[in-house]
Each structure stands twice: as C-alpha cells, then as structure tokens.
Amino acid sequence: MRRWCLRLIPLLILAGLGFWGWRVFFPGPEEVIRKRLHKLARAASFTGNEGNFVKLANIQSLAAFCTPDVEITVDVPGYSRQTISGQAELTQAAGGARFSSSRFNVEFFDIIVRVAPDQGAAVADLTARVNLLREKDFHVQELKFQLKKVEGKWLIFRAETTKTLSP
C-alpha cells in the first residue's frame, strides 16, 4: 500500500504540472481576450512625462487593438454622446486627448467574456475605472466590447458604454 502511495504522489505532481503548463502555454480564448483588454487599458493610459515620440507610438498602438472599421460609441454622463468610426478617427481622437491632457489612467475590472460557439467572435462586458488629470475621484463606466478573431488576433470591432441601473 505504501509503495502505491509513493508512486502515486509523483504521478499526481506530474499531472498537476502538465495541467498548469497546458493552461500557461495554451490559454483559452477567454483568457487571451482578458489579457488583451488589460494591454489595451495600459496602452490607453498615460502620464505627463512621455516624450512626443513615445506619445505618437502609443497612439498608434491603440489602433492595433481594433479592426479598420471599428465603431466606438461613448455616452459619458455630463458630456455629449461621441461616436468614433474607423482606426483613423480613433487615432485622431486619442492624439487629441493625449496631447491636450497630461495624465489619464484607465483600468478594466470584472471582465466577463462570452465566446461564440465557432470561436470566431466574442463579447466582453467590463467595468472601466477612469482617472483624469487633477481629479481625486475616478469615473466608473460599464462597457461592452465586441471582438472578432482576425488572422489569429482578437480585435475590437465595436465598443459601447452600457446603461446601468444606477443613475
């Protein structure tokens, strides 16, 4: 009996390591999308100590997260509804924001990803926490991203704010 236990323990450890390795090297689409959205939040965030070339590179990197025909509709309380259509307009809007502000921080929380059965499209619902220049408080907004897999990458083709029950 003791011999079986001594043989079973290394096998269980090996199986656990194999499972862990599989999850690390071959993550599911939900995990890939979550990581990609976190990278998007980091790319959208900036501080005032960036040089102009770094600003331009980061602005261009935002477009890489989206399809060429991306459509973003943002309805923030206290501001008018904004719609951005296409990567060029997204780059222009991001450039305007980045060069006119000295600090912007965005983080995504509570990311819920639903992948279509054919593994070619997905919807991600999340909460965004945004902190702007000179503001102690942050703004919280619910967002919905629609993504599709293009040449092996998950790209955003539609993003919009969603209405919540709270006023």
Looking at every residue in the chain, the average pLDDT score rounds to: 84
Q: Residue 72: what are its φ and ψ, rounded to 5°?
A: -120, 125
* Residue at token pair 């967002």: 143
Length of the chain: 167
For the segment 92-101, the average pLDDT, to the nearest whole number, is: 78
Separation CA 108–CA 130 (nearest Å)? 9
Q: What is the pLDDT of residues 124-143, one digit of tens each?
A: 999 999 887 666 677 888 99
State the pLDDT at residue 37. 95
- pLDDT category, 8, cuts 50, 70, 90? confident
State the pLDDT at residue 23. 67
- pLDDT category, 118, cuts 50, 70, 90? very high
**CA dihedral (26, 126, 117, 15) positive or negative:** positive
- pLDDT category, 166, cuts 50, 70, 90? low
- pLDDT category, 1, cuts 50, 70, 90? low
Q: Is 16 helix (H, G, I), strand (E, B) or coil?
A: helix
28-161 adopts what CATH topology? Nuclear Transport Factor 2; Chain: A, (3.10.450)
Q: Domain locations in the chain?
A: 28-161
Q: What is the pLDDT of residues 67-86, one digit of tens each?
A: 999 999 988 766 778 899 99
- Are 37 and 128 in contact by the 8 Å Cβ rule? The answer is no
154 vs 17, higher pLDDT? 154
For the segment 32-58, the average pLDDT, to the nearest whole number, is: 85
